[in-house]
Amino acid sequence: MREFKGRVIAAGSVSGEAVVSRSGLNTLATFQKSVMDGKKTVLGGDQNNPDVYKKEITGKILCLPQTIGSTTGGLVIQTVCAMRINPVAFLFSKHIDSLAASGIVLARVWENSGVVCVDCLGDDFLDAVKTGDTVSVKEDGTVVVG
């Protein structure tokens, strides 16, 4: 078991299965197909990110360095939360970008989403966590892998 401490963006306690992206996650490319097709679960749609491509993301703990892509990123996160097909947590090894932060905050405020978010977990976090690992997040930003 490894423990990491990050900065709380959206507090909450949650445990679940990790889905790990080792590179920046393009939110639009990852979520768009599932959203546009009205799916009940998200399968990663970004062919340029083999870490998440065709992996189920709904209800998982998404571990990533940061999000990348167009300015729609925040709206995409808010939308998947409104549709209740979102990851239960976003865990960032680096500082969260402004677009992801806006989407998570809007989802919490406007959609009454319980999505949890912690950033600044460090590169060691992404080295330690693997897709399929059990991850637990505590209210204070402590993340336990394993």
- Domains of the chain by residue range: 2-145
- Three-state SS at 92: strand
Q: State which CATH number among 3.40.50.11900, 3.50.30.10, 3.40.140.10, 3.10.450.350 fits the domain covering 2-145.
A: 3.50.30.10
What pTM value is reported for the model?
Answer: 0.97
pLDDT in tens, 59-83: 999 999 999 988 999 999 999 999 9
Residue holding tokens 């996160």? 77
Bin 79: left if φ > 0, else alpha if -120 < ψ < 50, else beta. alpha
**The pLDDT of residue 31:** 96
- Three-state SS at 142: strand
**The pLDDT of residue 70:** 86
pLDDT in tens, 110-145: 999 999 999 999 999 999 999 999 999 999 999 999
What amino acid occupies position 61?
I
pLDDT in tens, 92-116: 999 999 999 999 999 999 999 999 9
**The pLDDT of residue 141:** 98
Taking CB atoms within 8 Å and a gap of at least 24, the contacts of 142-146 are 142/3, 142/4, 142/5, 143/3, 143/4, 143/5, 143/6, 143/91, 143/118, 144/1, 144/2, 144/3, 144/4, 145/1, 145/2, 145/3, 145/4, 145/18, 146/1, 146/2
The pLDDT-based confidence of 38 (bands split at 50, 70, 90) is: very high
Bin 97: left if φ > 0, else alpha if -120 < ψ < 50, else beta. beta
